[in-house]
């Protein structure tokens, strides 16, 4: 009996400090939850793989897709607890309308110190919005469950989504696509709104929706003549902004600086050990390359969709 009590006391001495350290980790640096890592493993997905997201206003859902092999597979669907406005795109600053369209999120759009727990900026206005002189700033996906033109989730859900995006950037993804729709763009749903003022706009969005459903690959998106131009991404580069092989460290170092991450975990293939084991082998890749020239822009080669891809 005394031995058992001594063992419990010693266990507390060992594990309580560890628990305190974990609780003291800044929210933007917390590792993905064990539950989420287990789901990744069950779905044969690797931590640090590229991500892709879709938002559906009417259903109040945000989907996170993770690259698995040569395609993207659905990881999880999260409930959006609040979004403001009505069905239709955002038109001007102050209309409290959540955006619809095709957006691109880069590391600099992630906000680790958001007053809404954690957040990332959708990148509104994009080239399409600008062509229609639409205005607005700080249109975010964030925590806190309150919205004035944004998409709001619970703090727990935004932590998980933020972690997946952060680790994708640290794994080398240059940017991830977000497709924001008024509803799931089925023929039946679209037919219900054939008399809506935004029907033709939604038909444009449906092209991107259908193409992703058919290929499970984020499409190339550009803007020409004030219309979205959506095409299948090249076979050799299924992620539009996948990293060039010669600048892995440079891109990751820049992402780490934006994300306020001092040490970068080594993400490898899906067959390697989990994040917690890899964390023991963390090395600082940023130190050697943080001073390198990271101002080089990403170009999209080929196809009509590249005409304005640089503006996304």
- pLDDT for residue 157: 96
Position 90 in a domain: yes
- pLDDT for residue 14: 40
Nearest to 206 by CA among 178, 184, 177: 184
Position 1 in a domain: no
Range of 236's domain?
27-244+301-311
Peptide bond into 222 cis (omega under 30): no
Task: Write down the catalytic residue from 28, 117, 150, 177.
Answer: 150
Position 182 in a domain: yes
Known catalytic residue at 142: yes
Half-sphere exposure for 118 (CA within 13 Å, toward CB): 22
140-142 vs 119-121, strand pairing mode: antiparallel
Question: 75 with 118: CB under 8 angstroms?
Answer: no
- pLDDT for residue 21: 41
Which structure tokens are listed for 41? Answer: 């493993």
Position 249 in a domain: no
Position 223 in a domain: yes
- pLDDT for residue 24: 80
Position 288 in a domain: no
Task: Write down the catalytic residue from 117, 142, 145, 177.
Answer: 142
CATH number of domain containing 109? 2.40.440.10
pTM of the predicted structure, to 2 decimals: 0.78
- pLDDT for residue 309: 40
CA–CA separation, 280 and 263 (whole Å)? 11
CA–CA separation, 3 and 24 (whole Å)? 32
Position 274 in a domain: no
Position 277 in a domain: no
Show pLDDT as tens, one digit a residue, over the chain (312 residues).
455 544 444 444 443 344 444 458 899 999 999 999 999 999 999 999 999 999 999 999 999 999 999 899 999 999 999 998 999 999 999 999 999 999 999 999 999 999 999 999 999 999 999 999 999 999 999 999 887 889 999 999 999 999 999 999 999 899 999 999 999 999 999 999 999 999 999 999 999 999 999 999 999 999 999 999 999 887 655 554 555 555 677 888 899 999 999 888 877 543 434 444 444 444 344 333 333 333 333 232 333 444 334 333
Known catalytic residue at 150: yes
State residue 20 phi and psi, 5-degree precision.
-65, -40
How would DSSP label each residue in the chain? -HHHHHHHHHHHHHHHHHHHHHHTS-GGGPPPPHHHHHHHHHTT--TT--EEEEEETTTTEEEEEEEETTEEEEEEEEE--EE-S-SS---STTS-----EEEEE-GGGEETT-TTSSEEE---S-HHHHHTT------EEESSS--SSSEE--HHHHHHHHHHHHHHHHTT---EEEEEESS---HHHHHHTTTSTTHHHHHHHHHHHHHHHHHSSPPEEEEETTEEEEEPPPTT-SSTTPPPGGGHHHHHHHHHHHHT-SSB-----TTS--HHHHGGG-B-SHHHHTTS---PPP---SSGGGGSGGG-
How would DSSP label each residue in 150-166? SEE--HHHHHHHHHHHH
CB count in 10 Å sphere of residue 213: 10
Q: Angle, to 10 degrees, between the axis of helix 248-259 and the axis of helix 155-170?
A: 150
Question: 249 with 289: CB under 8 angstroms?
Answer: yes
CA–CA separation, 241 and 106 (whole Å)? 10
Q: Total structural domains in the chain?
A: 1
């Amino acid at each position: 009996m005394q031995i058992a009590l001594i063992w419990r006391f010693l266990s507390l001495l060992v594990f309580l400090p560890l628990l305190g350290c974990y609780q003291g980790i800044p929210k933007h640096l917390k590792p993905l939850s064990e539950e989420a890592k287990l789901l990744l493993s069950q779905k044969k997905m690797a931590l640090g793989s590229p991500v892709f997201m879709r938002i559906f206003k009417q259903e109040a859902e945000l989907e996170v897709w993770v690259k698995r092999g040569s395609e993207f597979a659905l990881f999880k669907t999260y409930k959006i607890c609040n979004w403001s406005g009505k069905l239709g795109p955002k038109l001007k600053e102050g209309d409290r309308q959540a955006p619809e369209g095709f957006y691109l999120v880069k590391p600099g759009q992630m906000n680790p110190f958001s007053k809404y727990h954690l957040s990332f900026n959708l990148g509104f206005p994009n080239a399409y919005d600008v062509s229609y002189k639409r205005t607005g700033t700080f249109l975010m996906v964030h925590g806190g469950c309150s919205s004035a033109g944004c998409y709001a989730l619970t703090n727990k859900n935004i932590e998980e989504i933020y972690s997946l995006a952060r680790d994708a950037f640290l794994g080398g993804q240059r940017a991830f696509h977000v497709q924001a729709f008024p509803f799931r763009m089925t023929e039946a749903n679209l037919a219900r709104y054939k008399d809506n003022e935004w029907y033709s706009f939604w038909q444009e969005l449906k092209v991107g929706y259908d193409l992703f459903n058919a290929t499970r690959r984020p499409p190339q998106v550009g803007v020409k003549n004030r219309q979205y131009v959506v095409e299948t991404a090249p076979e050799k580069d299924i992620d539009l902004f996948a990293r060039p092989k010669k600048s892995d460290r440079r891109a990751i170092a820049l992402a780490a600086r934006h994300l306020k991450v001092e040490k970068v975990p080594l993400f490898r293939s899906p067959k390697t050990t989990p994040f917690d084991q890899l964390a023991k082998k963390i090395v600082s890749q940023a130190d050697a390359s943080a001073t390198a020239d990271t101002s080089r822009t990403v170009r999209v080669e080929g196809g009509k969709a590249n005409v304005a891809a640089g503006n996304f």
